[in-house]
Chain A
Amino acid sequence: MGLSLVEVNSKQRGASSFDEPFYINMGPQHPSTHGVLRLFLELDGETIINCDPKIGYLHRGVEKLAETLNYNQTIVLSDRLDYIASCANNTAFCLAFEKLFGLQVPRRARILRTIVNEMARISSHLLWLATHALDIGAMTVFLYCFRDREWLLNIFEKICGARLTHSYVRVGGVRQDFTLEIIEDLYKFTEVFPERVLEYETLIDVNRIWLERTKNIAVVSAEEAISLGLTGPVLRGSGVPYDVRKFRPYDAYDEVEFEVPIGKNGDVYDRYRVRMEELRQSNKIIRQCLEKLSETEGEPVLPENAPDLLIPERVREPEPKPHPKKGFIFTGKEVPVVPPGEAFASIESPKGELAVYVVSDGTNKPWRLRIRTPSFVHISALPELAKGHMIADLIAIIGTLDVVLGDSDR
């Protein structure tokens, strides 16, 4: 432009806004974008005029890949979507497949699924609270949250051997029953956890910095939130009591008692309050389910006609002339065991509504597997929420939407 730095500064000093907007990239390596999210920002000073999220850095083609795998194998893919709460993804996939196959899940398996789903919710919310607070500047909460999340992950490790990618929920039931040790651990956890939630709250609830950075930020009205497709705690923060667990109960959610907390103003603070209350409710659900477990002692956790046993095992044999890439082929017939048709199932995952739509053509592989993930929709709402806010608030807004990029990119 031919202006020296001094001239530019003097020109802009006193002026209420800059002459022309400038553009910056936030991400994909920014620590506060919770993964590989890239935001292309149009700025007027520090105010955001426009925001264009660019996703796809973590696109692994799960939907395409699923068309080449049989139904049970896709469960493993589902772990890698929202890797913070993989049990929720497993459950959504399995519910859709069970509807398609017409399978009945044994009661004990349904209760076990509810427990792991709520454990996933707690561990996901704890991670959210930890990183959200860290982004805004409260370091201590981070350490406290990770202490308790570690506890949960250890229990998960005892349940299924994995800490993050569980694959514990299977088509028709769950992989294996809980041992006594796990039940005792969970009892201990549920006893201590309400105090712990109180502990987090005392850390930030009256903190002035926390309040000023969260109150009246990214306000969404109820109508707007529905139009934007927001679900889960983000929608409930705006005062809409829509919770799939109550509206279309699955697993054992119709047997347990819990409340659906809702917010009033629909700002970042309200969504924080909703999630904190959900932690308590989840704890309550786990407690009730543990008591129900003793009623169903000894029942099977996987029905005998589960497709694991129905789909004939295909023999793996080396190819006559090994292909340079593959080396092995699967032999054996594909027996039609799945009725042609379609099924839709949705669950309340920790982040929002996770829906799976599956179309079958009668073979043992899905013809089309569509996954509607909450993070994808929440990122799409980001430009609307961020408009007119400062860059520093953008960090709080990304945090409040609780996005995981593995979930949004699939």
Chain B
Amino acid sequence: MKKDTIFKRLYHGILIENPSVVLCLGLCPTLAVTTTAKNGLAMGIVTAAVLILSEFVISLLKRIIPKKDRMIVYVLIAACWTTIVQLVLNAYFPDISESLGIFVALTAVNGLIFGRADGYAIENNPFLSIFDGIGFGIGYTLIITILGAIREILGIGTIFGIRIIPDGYTLSIAALAPGAFFLLACLIAIANKIKGGRRV
């Protein structure tokens, strides 16, 4: 096996194993809160922060986490960090916290965090785990922001609040749930095309 490096972690997280369009992890917030680019970006950053911190702690504790009960330990750790992130968000960015609603709290049970905790952090050292978290966090944030931007342009006619398409000419289905599914499917198709059949 080739030596794992920081670069490889970032590369895998952002491109090869992109959590949203390749592994399809954490799709619930991806579909639900991406009505605007700002929401998407905020959700991505929240998830990335929880992911990095959880992976770091889980990696530190990997020798004392019992194999049989590891899931419950992951939930506890992720829930701790989610609470901290949520309180920070409430304190400094109340409007974003308002628009993300319940989905900030639901980060504690995001599949992406368990996927990476069980798939990487539990077997590797804390330093690389941090970069694994950064890579996957960036990959997640990237796609969720792109999806949010497309949905905002098509559905509301703005991008980060700046109007591009005049009111009344927007495709409001893009802002609704069916539009989220259609557009995510398009992004996955594009990702598959770029990867060109390469296996993860």
User: Are these two chains actual partners, yes or no?
Assistant: no
The chain A residues found within 8 Å of chain B, CB to CB, are none
The chain B residues found within 8 Å of chain A, CB to CB, are none
